[in-house]
Chain A
């Protein structure tokens, strides 16, 4: 009986290609829309969280002044503040003092203005930087303030294109500087600045040759344990108050920023976006489902007469049911599979268009497939069952 029903079902599909195609199309759209939406959404979320973790989440940044931009009239930090944090605060992975200055860098008859960062090797630990080629600073270079520099990829690309710059020299203002390494690219920071647009040099070199003072503008601190951040923040604040001789009733003239707080704001935004995408996906799944229902219901109504004919000439109820069930399963599966393929294509295309990673999400693929397929089967089967239970006379009279 199954074999006969299969033949009958496949014949019915073949005989009404347009109806079959519309059914399949409904499922394809339902499946593809949801999967594409969710996959791209996940890619976007992933790229944001990648950027955030690239910056380092367990970071504290110490800066002078209370509010953004008001740091000019408050004193910068000195080396002794750095040492103090280094020696007195426990559970710290790295302390990176840094000062930045904008300067024009010249190499191979090309010039490019970028941000020079004077710092120590801790800078790489704290900021999760890795080297693409070359090496970090040697102790002697840091100590003596040697003119060595490590280029960010943006600077490297502007000045050296595809060449390996390690070993060559660049000119910055009045001195030349040996390139000892290139940073691995990190891309845009979460707030849209190009993190690779920089040249890293020993702090002392920048102090002596570019700034002419030994003031330290920022101190970045990496805390070993995420749970320890608030404690470290407190401890650093106490130490600096003491070192900067701030009396008890006076406000801090510096801030210890917790990157987590900044990140929390940013991830909050991303989360809202993800939820929005999820809602849109759910709606398209629903719309796809309703499309499937429509076509199935219309075609079964249209086929009630056919069911009547089959029953009158000797088909048992189960014959008719089996045939419609097989039809629904076949159409829904074909639609589901085509939908998965289309979704993968669209996701890859969309992801590359938006510059987010393509993340294949098995779960949403399965959910979308099963949802659409079961709607297809349910709405192909249930009305057919109703029709099969009709008195054949009534089914035959159905117009």
Chain B
């Protein structure tokens, strides 16, 4: 069963005289357990695709199915619940809360999910252990290196045991050595925990870690 289906999706930004078509009829199916890399120049539609997959953005026409559920028919609340329960996010800029420790950052999604303190603590510890940061749990982001911060972000993304990990240029702010570490971490998460990964990247080298590469050009898939 496909996990995600994009069916003839178009997305147009802006209205009136200068509409910008970001997606022009996208068809894409992603199965569970895939590690997908989205590539393409700026403005080719890969980030828009990410945002639609993340239930953060709505489509102009077409259907986006998540586990056979039409996401467009869901309201904001339901989309948030879907995001909270099935999706994990990794951003280029890490997006950690600056004045909170690594542990507190990782715990945050669980707070919104309503877990009690003990559940939160143990799940957060496990996630930090998975990314190899157990010794750094009490440090604030500004005391961590870029690679460490991205690993905290990954821990925060996987702490809810999501079905899909959405990574928006996860290595964009990192040096090559650290990038490799992050990529091998993602690969092992994909392999060992079976989490589906959709990653946007500009770098061919990083895309090499993926099981499938999708090239975007002018709002369409180039194949």
Contact = CB atoms under 8 A, between A and B. Distances in A.
Interface of A: 1, 4, 7-8, 11, 15-16, 305-306, 308-317, 319, 391-393, 396
B13 to A, nearest CB: 12
* Interface size range on B against A: 20 to 34
B100 A4 contact: no
Contacts, number: 57
Contacts of B44: none
Given A312-B56, A313-B156, A314-B83, A396 B95 contact: yes
A221 B139 CA distance: 85
B77 interface: yes
B56 A319 contact: no
A316 B104 CA distance: 18
Nearest to B157: A313
B99 A316 contact: no
Given A16-B99, A312-B83, 6 more contacts: A305-B95, A309-B97, A313-B89, A313-B156, A316-B80, A392-B56
Interface stretch (B14-22, B32-40, B107-115): B107-115
A11 B103 CA distance: 14
Chain A facing B: main interface SS? helix
B113 A314 contact: yes
A315 B160 CA distance: 13
B184 interface: no
B202 interface: no
Contacts of B6: none
B112 A315 contact: yes
A314 B77 contact: no
B99 A393 contact: no
A312 B156 CA distance: 12
B80 A391 contact: no
Contacts of A391: 56-57
Contacts of B108: 310, 313
Nearest to A17: B99
B91 interface: yes
28 contacts: A1-B114, A4-B111, A7-B111, A11-B100, A15-B99, A15-B100, A305-B95, A306-B97, A309-B95, A309-B96, A309-B97, A310-B112, A311-B80, A312-B83, A313-B89, A313-B112, A314-B80, A314-B109, A314-B160, A316-B80, A317-B76, A317-B80, A319-B112, A391-B56, A391-B57, A393-B51, A393-B57, A396-B95
Given A393-B51, A396-B95, A4 B84 contact: no
A15 B99 CA distance: 6
Interface in B146-180: 156, 160
A8 to B, nearest CB: 7
A146 to B, nearest CB: 86
Nearest to B166: A312
Given A391-B56, A393-B51, A313 B97 contact: no
A319 B104 CA distance: 17
B57 A4 contact: no
Contacts of A7: 111
B109 A396 contact: no
Contacts of A309: 95-97
Q: Which 9 A-B pairs have the closest CB atoms?
A: A314-B84, A15-B99, A313-B109, A315-B112, A314-B112, A309-B95, A314-B109, A393-B56, A316-B80
B119 to A, nearest CB: 13
Contacts of B54: 312
A316 B97 contact: no
A140 B112 CA distance: 94
